[in-house]
Amino acid sequence: MTVLFLATGNEGKLREFQELLLGTGLLLEVVDTRVPETGDSYSANAALKAEAAARSRAGPALGDDSGLEVAALGGYPGLLSARIAPTQAEREALLFERLCPHPKPWRARFVCLLALALPGRPTLSFRGEAAGEIREPAGRGQGFGYDPVFWPSGSLLSFAELPPIEKHSLSHRGAAVRALLASGALASLSRPSERGESRR
């Protein structure tokens, strides 16, 4: 089985990547690089994470940077989505505080950039988006992050309320992973046994 290192400390993201890559023959191993997100774009931040993981494990690594962009707020919180407040409850409270003066519907989109770092090769980037709107949450559901307050276009349920398979078919991360798989970039990954290496 081919090992792909995943640069994340986010359990929700890990779960989604495991579901999205099920059946691909890839074994995900987490590398929590804790790299500061100093890039000026999702792509730059994703590359920082992926390249740090690839260097530390001398193998192929995937990095992810995602954000919520609200039209009425000029794309806020964007790159700062996970850092505008210490907890998710506080982040959502701040988001609704800023949205209050603006008329509904509150149009928004999720953006995901995946970076695939392969030792000795240029880092590749794959983008996915999901359009929708922000609403007050009906419940927390099964999601994470801003999932409970985001309704994808045409859906009667929030990301947090959708069954995983349906969410993945609509989500920004699902779209980015499909772009990655369609590119054929993962087909060139050699198996650990072929390289004579042990990942354990």
- Residue-range definition of the domain harbouring residue 61: 2-195
Instruction: Work out how many domains the chain is built from and give that number.
Output: 1
pLDDT tens, N- to C-terminus, the chain (200 residues): 789 999 998 888 999 999 999 989 899 999 988 888 899 999 999 999 999 999 999 999 999 999 999 999 999 999 999 999 999 999 999 999 999 999 999 999 999 999 999 988 999 999 999 999 999 987 667 879 999 999 999 999 999 999 999 999 999 999 999 999 999 998 877 444 344 333 33
List the one residue out of 111, 115, 109 whose CA is nearest residue 43: 115
In a domain, 14, yes or no: yes
Q: Is the pTM of this model over 0.75?
A: yes
Q: What is the CATH number of the domain that holds 35?
A: 3.90.950.10
In a domain, 200, yes or no: no
49, 8 Cβ separation under 8 angstroms: yes
In a domain, 184, yes or no: yes
Residue 141, sorted as left (phi over 0), alpha (psi -120 to 50) or beta, turns out to be: left
Catalytic residue among 32, 40, 64, 65: 65
Respond yes or no: is residue 65 known to be catalytic.
yes
